[in-house]
Amino acid sequence: MADPFDIFVLVKQVPDQGSKAGLNPDGTIDRAKAKRMLNPFDRYALQAALHTKKTYGGRVTAISMGPPPAVEVLMEALEHGVDRGVLLSDRRLAASDTLATAYALCKTVQWVGRFDIIFCGLQTTDGDTAQVGPQLAERLGLPQITYCQDFKIDDHRVHAERIIEGGYQKLDSELPVLVTVANSYHPLEYKSFRGAWRVQQLLRNEVEQKKYIQTVDLDVIGADPDRCGLKGSPTIVAATEKVGEIGGNCTMHEGHTASVLVEELLGCSNLKEFVKA
């Protein structure tokens, strides 16, 4: 085996959509109040990064971009066995679209240094675009493997299985490469209780925390603020509108026993026509 691998994994903190906290009465989200969580798709990327380290050796660096509380997802990554974290946090990044985000992450990755492989989640649950991974790969001039559900590395090539409609592709790529991991990959293993506890104790000490998690801003990484945030974003959300009620006249069945409710349903609809003979 040549040099140990330098493995990067990108993680993002997103609002928890399952929790009612921070949900306004009109159904909109109050991001300041919403519960925060690690983007669920990133758990697969984290598993891929830790698996790579375990199988082939190396060091895992988790990179995130977000407001200061995003340090929580880096701490979570460390509890799972990541070696160090880097958080890019800067007010000038507010309102960045995917292109501006990919620029800022590209500058961060280049600042952190050499890498062999970058893992990303397939997409985030708040943006839902799946664009940042490929846009970052383009900016870094890398090949990419998206929708990756399995891979192995040998002789400095990645052999991967990539989901496509109605099947999959087997492909292989030179290193370095950027991989977005599908949620049909292995789920994130449970963290060892003792290991996680040790990391928690360690990170409680601010001086120690700074040794493992670095927080940087645009000036530190040498990014051009005009290419970030609203200014660096070619798209804007120009308007939002309430979704019109379609149908809008739902026939409701309630307040009876299950058997009466189902009889009502079968009486009011043509469901019976679809029953297998």
Partner 1 sequence: MTEEVKRIATPKGEVLVVAEQILGELQPVTLELLGAGRYLADKLGSQLTCVVMGYNLADMPQRLVASGADVVYVADHPELYTYRTLTYRRVLVDLLESLAVPPHICLLGSTTTGRDLAPRIAAHFETGLTADCTELDVGPYEHKSKVDPSKVGLYEECLYAIRPSFGESLKARILGPWKNPQMATTRPGQMTPLKPDPGRQGKIVPIPVNLKPEDYRLVVAETLREAGKGLKLQEADVIVSGGYGLGSADGFQLMYELAACFSNSAVGASRKVVDLGWVPYEHQVGQTGKTVRPKVYIACGISGAIQHRVGMSKSGLIIAINKDPEAPIFKFAHQGIVGDLYQIVPEMIRQLGKVKSEKEVGTVVSTH
Site for partner 1 in 97-126 (CB under 8 A): 97-99, 102, 123, 125-126
Phi–psi pair at 248, nearest 5 degrees: 75, -15
To which residue do tokens 């292995």 refer? 186
Dist. CA 154–CA 215, nearest whole Å: 34
Using CB under 8 A as the binding rule, whether residue 55 contacts partner 1 is answered as no
Nearer to partner 1, 167 or 207 (CB): 167
Q: Does 202 bind partner 1 (CB under 8 A)?
A: no
Q: Is 230 in the site for partner 1 (CB under 8 A)?
A: yes
Task: Single out the residue of 167, 190, 194, 222 in contact with partner 1 (rule: CB under 8 A).
Answer: 167
DSSP 159-218: EEEEEETTEEEEEEEESSEEEEEPTTSPPPPPPPHHHHHHHHHHHHSHHHHHHHEEEE-H
Quote the tokens at residue 40.
Answer: 């669920």
- Please tell me whether residue 155 binds partner 1 under the rule CB under 8 A: no
User: Which amino acid type is present at position 236?
Assistant: I
The answer to whether residue 206 forms part of the interface with partner 1 (CB under 8 A) is: no
> Should residue 258 be labelled a site residue for partner 1 when binding is judged by CB under 8 A?
yes
Total residues interacting with partner 1, rule: CB under 8 A: 90
Q: Is 271 in the site for partner 1 (CB under 8 A)?
A: yes
Q: Is residue 32 at the binding interface for partner 1, with CB under 8 A as the rule?
A: no
- To the nearest 10 degrees (0 to 180), the angle between helices 71-80 and 42-56 is 40
Span of 4-12, 49-57, 67-75, 127-135 interacting with partner 1 by CB under 8 A: 127-135
The answer to whether 9 and 136 are in contact (CB under 8 A) is: no
Q: Say if CB 74 and CB 64 are below 8 A apart.
A: yes
127 contributes a contact to partner 1 by CB under 8 A: yes
Residue 201 beta carbon to partner 1: minimum distance, rounded to whole angstroms: 30
**Cβ distance 60 to 81 under 8 Å?**
yes
Interacting span for partner 1 (CB under 8 A) from 52-60, 76-84, 95-103, 112-120: 95-103
A 10 A CB-CB count for 226 gives 10
130 contacts partner 1 (rule: CB under 8 A): yes
